[in-house]
Amino acid sequence: MKYSSKGRVFRESTGTVNLAEAQRFLKRRLGEVVTGKFGGLTPERIRFCDLAEGVIHDYIDNERASLGHVKRRLKLHLLPTLGDVRAGEFTTDHVKRYVAERRRRGASNANINRELAIVKRGFRLAFQCDPPKVMRIPYIPKLEENNVRTGFLEHDGYVQLRDALPGPVRPLFVVAYHVGPRRGELLVLQWPQVDLVAQRIRLEPGTTKNKEGRTLPIYGEMLEWLRMQKQIRDTKFPHCPFVFHRGGKPIKDFRKAWATACERTGLDGLLFHDLRRTAVRNMVRAGTPERVAMQISGHKTRSIFDRYNIVSDRDLTEAALKMEHHFERTGILSGIPAESDTGSPTQTKDPRGEVTLYN
């Protein structure tokens, strides 16, 4: 078929040998020209796999720490299903079919949302190009997530898990339990950032999730574990700059050791990230001002901070005991009458001054 747009003549195949279908295709194309939705034939040839390359290059250019996660999601899930889909033909129906397939395989809504975010990022980057590689960004709905934080670790469990973890992971675990930094912030921590005299840890700008630096206090048994860690480093691995290491090499992953220790101590399902919310809760329990606790944990918004400050069974029990003591001090009765030894009715008087008999 042949048509023109903005003074330029275009020729393309309709992809069919049926005249009626070819005429319908031409009418649709002419409609896109009139409404301004036609951006040339180049966007028509763009496929999702091309958009995925743009996302990867964007993560590389901006030195995003989650580049590995994006590559893995693309390779395992997105490209096998959506890689050959033309960007111009991509619709919400493709999203719905993808969601249904991922759910059939047992994926959670949170994981699916992270994958769809990559799809949306690819379309947005392509749309921002000059000239645009795509003429529109399709609507990609977000699934509802139940992301309320519920896990935390009591002190007894902390002691058991600390002793069950392998040696190289123990100091990392101790620091995470006390001040709640993120796992990635700890794995890149180096000795120039640790001041054992002033008892401070400095997280440099750019090494944290929000790219802002902050200072963490060293207290309790953190100090002794960090001193031991430095002595091991100075005597055996003097050229290793990392605070937490295995045999002088930085720790990359300890998920297997974590899972084994949790299973051995009966703490199955505990996440390393649970130490972060545990530290926040402990700081609030100890009376640390919430503003200071937020600065230590690195939370910028109050809503996120509130989600981590969860209530445990012990908190509820302590609250009940406090209320019970309060009622005892104020002399408030429970309202349930006590029978005399002889079984005769007990006479009481309520606060309004009326006499009531209970049998």
Q: List the domain boundaries for the chain.
A: 45-127, 155-308
Confidence (pTM):
0.61
Alpha helix positions (H), 128-199:
155-164, 170-179, 183-187
Looking at residue 310, what is its pLDDT? 57
- Is it the case that residue 358 has pLDDT exceeding 50? no
Looking at residue 149, what is its pLDDT? 57
User: Cα–Cα distance between 193 and 200 in angstroms, integer?
Assistant: 8
Pairing of strands 200-203, 214-217: antiparallel
Top CATH class of 155-308 equals: mainly alpha
Whether 193 and 201 have beta carbons less than 8 Å apart is answered as yes
Residues 6 or more apart from 147 whose CB is under 8 A from it? 110
Residue type, 83: G
Greater confidence, 338 or 212? 212
User: Cα–Cα distance between 59 and 164 in angstroms, integer?
Assistant: 37
Q: What is the mean pLDDT of the chain?
A: 85
- Is it the case that residue 246 has pLDDT exceeding 90? yes
Count CB-CB contacts under 10 A for residue 124. Answer: 15
Tokens found for residue 267: 């703490």
Sign of torsion, CA 201 204 209 214? positive
- DSSP secondary-structure letter at 85? S
305-333: burial string, b at 16+ Cβ within 10 Å, e else: bebbbbeeeeeeeeeeeeeeeeeeeeeee
Domains 45-127 and 155-308 belong to one CATH topology: no
Phi, psi (rounded to 5 degrees) for 26? -65, -40
Looking at residue 355, what is its pLDDT? 47
Helix (H) or strand (E) holding 344, with range, is none
Taking Cα atoms as reference points, which of 223, 251, 239 lies closest to residue 165? 251
Query: 90-104, 184-198, 274-288, 300-314: which has the minimum mean pLDDT?
Result: 300-314
Angle (CA) 300-305-306 rounded to 5° is 145
- DSSP secondary-structure letter at 205? T
User: Cα–Cα distance between 311 and 323 in angstroms, integer?
Assistant: 17
Looking at residue 41, what is its pLDDT? 64
Q: How far is CA 316 from the centre of its chain?
A: 27
Count CB-CB contacts under 10 A for residue 202. Answer: 16
Angle (CA) 6-7-10 rounded to 5° is 90
**pLDDT, average across residues 258-277:** 92
Whether 52 and 59 have beta carbons less than 8 Å apart is answered as no
Query: What are the distances in angstroms from CA 35 to CA 43, 163, 243, 325?
Result: 16, 68, 61, 74
Taking Cα atoms as reference points, which of 278, 276, 273, 256 lies closest to residue 165? 256
- Is it the case that residue 116 has pLDDT exceeding 70? yes
Q: CATH assignment of 45-127?
A: 1.10.150.130
Q: In which residue are the tokens 């670790």 written?
A: 153
Sign of torsion, CA 116 121 122 126? positive
- Is it the case that residue 287 has pLDDT exceeding 90? no
